[in-house]
Structure 1
Amino acid sequence: MCAELSRRLVPDTLWELTAPLLPRFPARPQGGGTAPLAERAVFTAVVYVLASGCSWRLLPDAFAVSPATAHRRFTAWSSAGLWAALDRAAAAGTVPGSEADWVAAIVGAARLRCRAAE
């Protein structure tokens, strides 16, 4: 179920558009900590929260991303201008029709979350 839902939330064309826009997180020199998560998995978890409107702490365990990680990345991506960059890319016609609507919905939900946090 989770794999199918993940592909519906973040289709390959959306991921191909998004992946180069994501800021890179530097490796921590002290080592330790948890294993790095796949960026697509984290992005999918963030899209789920944005699309469903649920709180970060209600992110289902099936995504294998902690609510804290999803929220931290959302905040970092918002500060880096990811949502505006996705909006520009969709407006430029680089996203197929129905997926352009989905990108617009995600961007709109992200902007609402950003405003709510201010």
Structure 2
Amino acid sequence: MAPLLPPAPERRHRYPGRRRVPDRAALAGVMYVLRTGVAWRDVPAGSVGCSGVTAWRRLRDWTEAGVWPRLHAALLSDLRRAELLDLVDCAVDGSHVRALKGGRKSALRPSIAPVPVPNTT
């Protein structure tokens, strides 16, 4: 995953300060939230290696940089190359593939609009 990540921003000052959390620790924080479902503020920084806020910011930066689609493509490519990708049983949902024009329509649907009644007076 490291080659797909954007380069770290350069430090602006020569003064000592807090060092940047390694990408691996930030990814561990993101994965912890995905696995457990806890809030970002509840990420245990001691065991994960970074705070939830740091993990969230790195996730935001990686998303803006387009890392996830490239990672997905690279993973699929590696699986195809190793002949481990089996598409016999697969599912596609609307979050990944748009159904343009709503798909095929089987028949005309009856209207549910009120039908005007003839005047009886």
Give the 4+ runs in structure 1 shifted more than 3 A: 94-98
Instruction: Tell me the secondary structure at the aligned position of residue 2 of structure 2.
Output: helix
- Percent of matched pairs sharing the same residue: 35
CA distance in 2, matches of 1:27, 1:33: 13
CA distance in 1, matches of 2:35, 2:22: 20
Which of 89, 96, 100 is the aligned partner of 2:74? 89
TM-score (norm 2): 0.58
Is the aligned partner of 1:50 residue 2:34? yes
Q: Which has the higher contact order (CA 8 A, sep 6+)?
A: 1
Instruction: Tell me the secondary structure at the aligned position of residue 57 of structure 2.
Output: helix
> Which has more helix, going by share of residues?
1
Is the aligned partner of 1:25 residue 2:8? yes
Structure 1 regions of 5+ residues with no counterpart? 1-17, 99-110, 112-118
Structure 2 regions of 5+ residues with no counterpart? 86-94, 96-121
CA distance in 2, matches of 1:78, 1:34: 24
Counterpart code for 1:26: P
- Aligned pair count reads 82
Q: Give the drift of 1:19.
A: 0.7
Instruction: Tell me the secondary structure at the aligned position of residue 54 of structure 1.
Output: coil
What is the alpha-carbon root mean square deviation over aligned residues?
Answer: 2.4
Match of 1:72 in 2: 57
The answer (yes or no) to whether the contact 2:28–2:49 under 8 Å persists in 1 is no
